[in-house]
Structure 1
Amino acid sequence: MTGRPREFDRDQALEKARDAFWRRGYEGTSMADLVSALGLASARIYAAFGSKEDLFREAVGLYEANEGGFATRALHEEPNVRRVIERMLRDAVEIYTRPGQPQGCMVVTAATNCAVENDAVQQWLAEHRLARTASIIERLKQAVREGELKPGTDAETLGDYYATLMHGLSVQARDGVPKKRLHDLVTVAMQALDASLSQTS
């Protein structure tokens, strides 16, 4: 006798959980909220995903593999450093302001302030943000080594600047700042990189 098949689509349930966490954050999303969003009893959620924290970590993984992967895609697909940075920032604006979808970046907003018992979640997300910053800095350092950026360009400070801007775009988007204003901000921010471009790049 075979086991009874699952009555729900696990991938679809994970998408619903991702959106719930994205909108309300880790602490702001209760098990009751997840029961309502997924349309499943809490026992079934635990059986399918483990703890609330396990579900959250898997939901973040789904976000980073899709919407939240825009920075990784820009780093891997664009042929020069200026296009990498501009695409990263403009894609951030587009994703953070999509109508009918959670606003901002899930990794930036999901756990900025947490109770002590959720320190592990907060630290885990901080590590994700720091890793993204490090990847931007490394791409800028590569651009200095390869002559795209002028010798002596402070790649670390420039990388911190653009990472901070991406996080700020997330907050602004959640606050309802219009997409056009955010794109205008990106246009201004690109001037910092343009000032460091070598004449031959």
Structure 2
Amino acid sequence: MARPRSFDRDHVLHAAERQFRASGYNGTSVDDISAATGLGRGSLYGAFDGKHGVLLEAMSGYFARLGQFAPKALAGPDESALERLHAYLLRAVHGVPLAPDLPPVPDRAGAACFAAKMALEIGASDPEVKRLASECFSVVRVAVAECVRVAQRNGDIDPDADPDDLAYLLLTIIRGSDVVGAYGHSPDRLTSIAESAFALLPRPRHT
């Protein structure tokens, strides 16, 4: 009979995610993951098949959290859709927490999109990382575009604007803020970026 796992898998994957965020994939060794998670090398290989397996599971967990958090944060009544979009944008430019019920990470660079960070580092040579990163982006894009459609239905955004184009615009600004934040710019600067992006949303034409 196989022995039951003697560790909290989610805790291990969150710890590994923090390590990958801090050091990148290539800068993280199996020993680093072992130190961060408290699991020995043998346990890591046995449970996850090594460093790459840990990364893929950590990214899958991150995708699952995004899939719950983004739609929930952006869903609601028509009359408050624009307000929800504004609040989501403000929160997003200040970093994505490791889990929806945790506060933002104090280090802005460490709170950048995990999937995007891994995609930029190794996505070009790693199809699985590229696929997971694309799925992470898509789940947020769909939620943002749907919130835009609801705001259009309520008369708060120009009905002729393409919701998908606006979603891409906002997410490009959010991901760009990861770079700006990584260079140490202040929270006030990031808030200003978010407000400027929000102001770009086309409002209905009144005749």
TM over 0.5, yes or no? yes
Secondary structure at the counterpart of residue 200 of structure 2: helix
Question: Which residue matches 2:161?
Answer: 153
Post-superposition shift, 1:168? 0.9
Preserved CA contact (<8 Å) 1:143 1:149 = yes
Distance change (3 Å), C-alpha of 1:67 and 1:100: farther
Total equivalences in the alignment: 197
Question: Which residue matches 1:56?
Answer: 55
Preserved CA contact (<8 Å) 1:149 1:196 = yes
Post-superposition shift, 1:57? 2.8
The aligned amino acid for 1:15 is H
Question: Which residue matches 1:105?
Answer: 113
Secondary structure at the counterpart of residue 141 of structure 1: helix
Identity of aligned residues (%): 28
Question: Which residue matches 2:101?
Answer: none
Question: Which residue matches 1:26?
Answer: 25
Distance change (3 Å), C-alpha of 1:198 and 1:107: farther
Q: Deviations over 1:139-188 (max 9, x none)?
A: 32343345442331232322211010111122222222211110111112
Question: Which residue matches 2:99?
Answer: none
Task: Give runs of aligned pairs for residues 75-94 of structure 1, distance below 5 A.
Answer: 75-77=74-76, 80-94=80-94
More moved, 39-48 vs 24-33: 24-33
- Give the unaligned 5+ runs of structure 1: none
The aligned amino acid for 2:84 is V
Deviation >4 Å, runs of 4+: 2-7, 64-70
Task: Give runs of aligned pairs for residues 157-168 of structure 1, distance below 5 A.
Answer: 157-168=165-176
- Give the unaligned 5+ runs of structure 2: 97-103
Distance change (3 Å), C-alpha of 1:88 and 1:196: same
Distance change (3 Å), C-alpha of 1:100 and 1:188: closer
Distance change (3 Å), C-alpha of 1:138 and 1:36: same
Post-superposition shift, 1:197? 4.7
Secondary structure at the counterpart of residue 153 of structure 1: coil
Preserved CA contact (<8 Å) 2:94 2:190 = no
Correspondence 1:196 to 2:196: no
Distance change (3 Å), C-alpha of 1:58 and 1:166: same
Post-superposition shift, 1:16? 0.8
RMSD of the alignment, in Å?
3.0
- The separation in 1 between residues aligned to 2:123 and 2:164, in whole angstroms, is 32
Secondary structure at the counterpart of residue 121 of structure 2: coil
Give the TM-score taking structure 1 as reference length: 0.79
- The separation in 2 between residues aligned to 1:3 and 1:127, in whole angstroms, is 34
